[in-house]
Amino acid sequence: MRRRDFIAAVGGAVVGPLAARAQQPAKQPTIGFLGSGTLEGQGQWVAAFLQRLRELGWIEGRNITIEYRWAEGNSDRADELAAELVRRRVDVIVTYANPIVLAVKRSTSTIPIVFTAAADPLGTGLVSTLARPGGNVTGLSVEATDLGSKRLELLRDVVPNFRRLGIMANVGNSASVLEMREVQSASGTLGLEVKTLDIRQAEDIARAFDEFKGHADALYVCIDTILFANRIRIITLALAARLPTMFTTREAVKAGGLMTYGPSFPELFRRAGDYVDKILHGAKPEDLPVEQPTKFDLVLNLTTAKALGLTIPPTLLARADEVIE
C-alpha cells in the first residue's frame, strides 16, 4: 500500500468512529414522578405540570423521559416506589404530600427532589430554611396564614346554627396533624365545640362517622393521602349523615363534597415545572427558595348544597372561582 493510501485509511478509521460518537444524541434527562394517589384522581395536576414543561421547551418522549409511580393512596408503598426511582437514576424526582416527600428524602440525599405541595416544610424537616433549603430538597409550600379560620367562616356562612365541628385527620401525617391543630385553634376563637376523629387507615373512616353522630353540624376533612384516596367513601357517609363538608381540594368537591377553599393545586404543579427546568439546566435545589401559594380557589358544589337543604348566599356564589352543578 502506498504511504498516501495508508494515511488516508488510518485517518478514516480514526475520524469515522469519532464523528459517529459526536453525532450520538445526548442522553435524555429523566424525571421521576411519584404521585400519592392515582393518575385518574390527580390527572389535572399532572397535566398542569406537563403543560408548563412544554412551555419551557421540555416535551415528554422528545427531549425528556418521565418515569411515573403511583402510591394509590397507600403511604406505606412510598419507600418502595421511591427506591425504584432512585435505582433508575433519574435526574430529578417530583412528588407531593408530606409522607411521600419524606419517603423520597429518605431514599436519596443526592438526586434533586421537588415537592409540589407540602405543609410546613420547615417544621417537618424537609428543608433547613425556606430561603436556602440546603440539601437536595426544595419546592412549594401549601401553608397560608389563617386558612383554617377562613374555611370555618365559609362554613358558618352556609350552615345554619353552626356550633359544633367534627374534624377528621390522619394522625400519622404531620401535615394533617398541623392542619387539625390550626382548625382547633380557629374553632376556639369562633366559639365552636370540636370533636376530632383520628384516622390511621381507611378502615377507621366508618367508625369515625359512628362517633360523629349527634356531635357535629359540619365536617372538616384535613389534607391527607388516605383521606383523599377515600374521598368518595367520606362524602357518601357524610351525605347519609347530612353533614356539610369542607375539604382541601377541588377534586373532593367535584366528587360531592360541599366546598373547598385553599391553594390551587394545578397552579402549584404548574410552578413546579419551573423548578424542574432550573434544575435540569444546572441549578441546585439548595439554592432554590421554597415558595408559597399565590392562587387560592373557592369551589362550591350546588348540587350537594341542595341535597342537604342548604342555601348558598348569592354573595358567596359571586365570590366562587367554580360552582359545580
pLDDT band at residue 25, thresholds of 50, 70 and 90?
low
Laid out side by side, the sheet with 113-118 consists of 65-70, 30-35, 92-95, 113-118, 137-141
pLDDT band at residue 49, thresholds of 50, 70 and 90?
very high
**pLDDT the model gives residue 144:** 64
Q: Which carries the bigger pLDDT value, residue 239 or residue 27?
A: 239
* Mean pLDDT (whole number) for 234-239: 96
The residues facing 323 across adjacent strands are 300
- Percentage of the chain lying above the pLDDT 90 cut: 77
**For residue 222, is pLDDT > 90?**
yes
**For residue 243, is pLDDT > 60?**
yes
Whether 219 and 238 have beta carbons less than 8 Å apart is answered as: yes
Give 199-220 pLDDT, tens digit per residue.
999 999 999 898 888 889 999 9
Q: What is the DSSP string of 106-156?
A: HH-SSS-EEEEEES-TTTTTS-S-SSS--TTEEEEE---TTHHHHHHHHHH
Phi, psi at residue 301, to the nearest 5°?
-110, 105
**For residue 94, is pLDDT > 80?**
yes
Supply the pTM of this predicted model: 0.85
**pLDDT the model gives residue 74:** 85
**For residue 105, is pLDDT > 70?**
yes
* Mean pLDDT (whole number) for 4-22: 44
Q: What is the DSSP string of 168-233?
A: EEETT-HHHHHHHHHHHHHHHHHT-EEEEEEESSTTHHHHHHHHHTTT-SEEEE---HHHHHTHHH
Mean pLDDT, the chain, as a whole number?
90
Give 112-162 pLDDT, tens digit per residue.
999 999 988 988 889 999 999 989 999 999 876 578 899 999 999 999 999
Cα–Cα distances in Å, from 70 out to 90, 176, 192?
16, 20, 38
**For residue 2, is pLDDT > 90?**
no
- Domains of the chain, with CATH numbers? 30-143+264-296 (3.40.50.2300), 147-263+297-324 (3.40.50.2300)
DSSP 180: H
The helix/strand count (H/E) of the chain reads as: 13, 12
Which of 44, 300, 276 has the alpha carbon at shortest distance from 158?
300
**For residue 239, is pLDDT > 90?**
yes
* DSSP run (H or E) holding 323: strand 322-324
Give 251-262 pLDDT, tens digit per residue.
999 999 999 999
